[in-house]
Amino acid sequence: MRPQPIEVGDQVFHPTYGFGTVERLTTRDEAGQSKDYYGVRLSEGGILSVPVTRAESLGLRRVVNGLQIIVRCLRSPAKALPENDRERVLGLKARWQSPQPMAVAEGVRDLLARSRTHSLTPADKKWLVNACERLSGEAARVDAIELAAARAVILEEVDQLKSRQGLK
C-alpha cells in the first residue's frame, strides 16, 4: 500500500527529527534544476527542509495512526523476528525508519511475541520503550488527546499482552 501524498498542513513524522507540521512547499534552483522541498515545523522547535523526491526514502510520512488502529495492530497475529541479535536490531531499525504507518506498531507486536520464548536484549527493550512513546505521540496527535492519555492506553495494552503471554 502506497502512503498518501504529503500536503501543506499535514502532521508528519520524521524518524530522526520527530513530529512536525508541513508549513510550506518551496522550490529551489539547484545546479540549474528546480527541486521541491517540504518545510516542516518540528514540534521540538526548528524547521526541517526535506526534498520531496526523497521524503519517502528518508522516512517522512503523514501521521495517521489513532489509538484504535494501533491497538488493533498490537492484537493482530505476530510475525517472527530474526534469532540473530544483530539482524533483529537492523530489522527493528528499518521499521523505525519506514514510511509505512504500521511498521513500528508491528515491531512492538512482534517483539512482545518474541519475548514469550526469549529474553529481550537491552537493545530490544530500549527499542520497545521508544516505540511505545512514538506510538503514544502519534495517537495523541491523531485522536487530539493528551499524550499521557494515549501513553496510558498503549502501555495498558502492552501490559495486557505481556500478562496474556505470561511475561514479566
Assign 3 a pLDDT band (cuts: 50, 70, 90): low
Same-domain status, 87 and 31:
no
Residue 42 lies in a domain: yes
Same-domain status, 80 and 150:
yes
Range of the domain at 122: 67-164
Q: Tell me which residue of 156, 150, 132 sits closest to 66, measured CA to CA.
A: 150
Reading the block at residue 19, the C-alpha cell is 513530529
The count of domains in the chain is 2
Read off the pLDDT of residues 122-141 as tens digits, 9 standing for 90 and up. Answer: 999 999 999 999 999 999 99
Question: Residue 128 is part of a domain; what is its CATH number?
Answer: 1.20.58.1290
Assign 153 a pLDDT band (cuts: 50, 70, 90): very high
Indicate the pTM of the whole model. Answer: 0.86
Same-domain status, 33 and 72:
no
**27 and 79 Cβ atoms separated by less than 8 Å:** no
Same-domain status, 43 and 108:
no
In angstroms, rounded to a whole number, what is the distance separating the alpha carbons of residues 17 and 39? 13
- State the average pLDDT over residues 61-66: 93
